Amino acid sequence: MQFLDRHTNFVKQTAAGLGFDFCGIATAGFLNEDARRLEAWLKNGMHGNMDYMQKHFDLRTDPQKLVPGARSVITLLINYFPEEKQQQGGVKISKYAWGKDYHEVIRAKLNNFLNIIKKEIGDFAGRGFVDSAPVLEKTWAQKSGLGWIGKNGNLINKKQGSFFFIATLITDIALQADDTITKDYCGTCTKCIDACPTEAILPDKVVNGSKCISYFTIELKDALIPGDMKGKFDNWLFGCDVCQDVCPWNRFAKPNTEAAFNPIPEILNYTEKDWNELTEEKFKLIFSDSPIKRTKFKGIKRNLQFLNSHE
Give the residue numbers marked as catalytic.
131
Q: CA 63, CA 71: separation in Å to the nearest integer? A: 9
Cβ-in-10-Å burial (0-12, 13-18, 19+) of 51 comes to exposed
CB 140 within 8 A of CB 106: no
Residue 101: partners with Cβ closer than 8 Å, 6 or more residues away? 289, 290, 291, 293
CB 128 within 8 A of CB 117: no
H or E, element range at 234: none
Beta bridge partners of 164: 79
Q: CA 261, CA 257: separation in Å to the nearest integer? A: 8
